[in-house]
Amino acid sequence: MQGRATHVFVIIPFYNETRVLPETLASVLALGYNVVAVDDGSTDDSYQIAAELPVHLLRHAVNLGQGAALATGIEYALGQGADFIVTFDADGQHDASDIAVLLAPLLQDTADVVLGSRFMNTASTMPPSRRLLLKLAMVYTRMTTGVWFSDVHNGLRAFTARAARMITIRQNRMAHASEILSEIIRLHLRYVFVPVRVVYTDYSQRKGQRTLDAIGILMDLFEGKLQ
Amino acid sequence: MNLAQFLLIGIVLFLVWFYFSRVRSGASDRLFLLGFGIVMIIIILQPSLATDAANFLGIGRGADLLLYLFSLFVVFCLILIYQKLRALDRTNTQIVRALSILTARQPKMPPDHDNLAERDS
């Protein structure tokens, strides 16, 4: 990359996240990336808080779901001339310094999509119930895509603009994570996993997946297949 | 289950699959509904027809046949309604997305170092 500007856009969808949103946005901004914050219809003043920072700020008039918010942010970023797109969680689970790790294979053109995996190192701690749920999700993904993925539900990912344009996210809610994996396989995109840190705080745990949500995701995916 | 029932079920399943995967359109849906409605009305007016048909199919009473047909009709309608809802969901998403991009706010102080090559040198 000699002298050509590479525009990196980090998409951070959020919903009622006043407590940690400013920290999260600031940590990514501090590293010099473009941040696209997408308000998925928050009912508190998360939007106003985000507006005080130098981010691109979009807002869904009604709550559609994290998948929809990501798709909105990605479409916007592509329109802004993004070369690379990163997805990043707003709740403080992700570490901004991992973004450079995600971008490396894309810059070297060894992959079209880079997926963060929390199982490639022992730095992350995870409650056992979550671990079991994720193992089940792994099996489901293996059945539907034919591939064993290392981490099937990690919000930390990076795409080239070309890959982002090809991938269609129709699942508005949490099933989008599995849908993205299916799309990668369907489109024969080159993908690679890199180890990333995921921090489980009390705060993010309360907002995290529960068994009922997992069942909901399975149903969403099944309905999607009927289309 | 006798042979006639087995074959009939097979035909019904095949028709359903074929219909939903190939033929579907607004017009064909309405034709189906119309057809169902007409058959129902005929049977209500001439219950003996239902009895004859039921005997022919080996089902039992005309009322049973009516029940089966009605159940199929209801399931068909539910599927149509559900798919309408899904389509509405999609258009709703498109509208909300377009609106959010239209009202997007640019950063007040754009980061002036998004050039990774310069940054790393």
Give the per-residue pLDDT at B118.
46
Task: Count Cβ–Cβ pairs < 8 Å, chain A vs chain B.
Answer: 84
pLDDT beyond 50 at A1: no
- CB–CB contact B107 A54 (8 Å): yes
Give the per-residue pLDDT at B93.
97
pLDDT beyond 70 at A209: no
Q: Report yes or no: B119 at the A interface, CB cutoff 8 Å.
A: yes
Cβ contact B54:B62 at 8 Å: yes
- CB–CB contact A68 B97 (8 Å): yes
- B108 contacts on A by Cβ (under 8 Å): 54
pLDDT beyond 80 at A5: no
Ranges of chain B whose pLDDT falls below 50: 117-118, 121
User: pLDDT tier at A2 (50, 70, 90 boundaries)?
Assistant: very low
Averaged pLDDT, A121-134:
70
- Give the chain B residue nearest A7 (alpha carbons): B114
Each residue's pLDDT tens digit, A8-53: 999 999 999 999 999 999 999 999 999 999 999 999 999 999 999 9
- CB–CB contact B90 A170 (8 Å): yes
User: pLDDT tier at A139 (50, 70, 90 boundaries)?
Assistant: confident
Complex ipTM value: 0.86
- B-proximal residues of A, 131-190, CB under 8 Å: 170, 172
Give the per-residue pLDDT at B10.
82
Give the per-residue pLDDT at A130.
75
Interface-testing mutation among B83, B84, B93, B101, with chain A (most A C-beta atoms within 10 A): B93
- CB–CB contact A56 B109 (8 Å): no
**Which tokens belong to B116?**
């990774």
**Better-predicted residue by pLDDT, A76 or B10:** A76
**Which tokens belong to A19?**
């407590």
Give the per-residue pLDDT at A126.
72
Give the per-residue pLDDT at A201.
72
Q: How many CB atoms lie within 10 A of CB B18?
A: 10
What are the backbone dihedrals phi and psi of residue A157, each rounded to the nearest 5 degrees, phi first? -145, 160
**Better-predicted residue by pLDDT, A37 or A205:** A37
| 3-class SS string, chain B | CCHHHHHHHHHHHHHHHHHHHHHCCHHHHHHHHHHHHHHHHHHHHCHHHHHHHHHHHCCCCHHHHHHHHHHHHHHHHHHHHHHHHHHHHHHHHHHHHHHHHHCCECCCCCCCCCCHHHHHC
- Give the chain A residue nearest B109 (alpha carbons): A54
Mind telling me how many Å the CA of B7 is from chain A's nearest CA? Answer: 26
Give the per-residue pLDDT at B30.
81
User: pLDDT tier at A167 (50, 70, 90 boundaries)?
Assistant: very high
Rg (chain A; Cα; Å):
16
- A53 contacts on B by Cβ (under 8 Å): 107
**Better-predicted residue by pLDDT, A141 or A30:** A30
- CB–CB contact B104 A6 (8 Å): no
Each residue's pLDDT tens digit, A143-155: 888 888 888 888 9
pLDDT beyond 90 at A208: no
Each residue's pLDDT tens digit, A177-188: 989 999 999 999
